[in-house]
Amino acid sequence: MEENFSSFLDENFKDNIDLLYARVLESERGRLFDQAILGSLHLSFKEVKTIWRREEYFDLGLTKREVALILMARSDMLPLAFKPWFVDRSYQCIFCNLNLPEGGEHFIKVCPAWREFRSQKLCDFSFLDILGGEAGWKELASFIGKALNCRTLLGEAVV
């Protein structure tokens, strides 16, 4: 494409704007993909995975689902709205009115929509301590399982 502004003056203005938007989006996707490869979008995982050894919650007799939920929470892979690698989406939590991105910390510690599932232990510890197992692995898996089930049901009702 010719790199000047003459094409913006003709009647194909909208097409050109769309083309420009697509180029910016493509460039932004490339930048975000690079960040994902470097792990810079997975904010909590690099804070909680500080030692390279087998995860301790693998060996506690938890169910496969409980282990999967803990693993998803620790690696920023819970099915929430905050997915910074998708640039053209809203990350806002639609289940409360706090107008915050729905990331792992919002889901596990903050969002009032899931208050009834949050035990006192989960309230007492910081987000990173919870991801480190301080509030109990079973406790964390139980909360995520219940809150995600409810979130799915409410999400289907909203959409």
Q: How far is the CB of 36 from Zn ion (least distance, A)?
A: 24
Indicate the Cα dihedral angle 104, 108, 114, 115, nearest 10°: -150
What string marks each residue from 60 to 99 as x (binds Zn ion by CB under 5 A) or -?
Answer: ---------------------------------x-xx---
Instruction: Please identify, using beta-carbon distances, which residue of 66 and 102 lies nearer to Zn ion.
Output: 102
Residue 154, CA distances (Å) to 76, 88, 98, 109, 136 in order: 21, 23, 17, 19, 27
Q: How far is the CB of 156 from Zn ion (least distance, A)?
A: 17
Q: How far is the CB of 19 from Zn ion (least distance, A)?
A: 36
Question: If 0-12 CB within 10 Å is exposed, 13-18 middle and 19+ buried, where does residue 2 land?
Answer: exposed
Q: How far is the CB of 5 from Zn ion (least distance, A)?
A: 43
What string marks each residue from 107 to 126 as x (binds Zn ion by CB under 5 A) or -?
Answer: ----x---------------
Which residues in this chain contact Zn ion in the complex, by CB under 5 A?
93, 95-96, 111
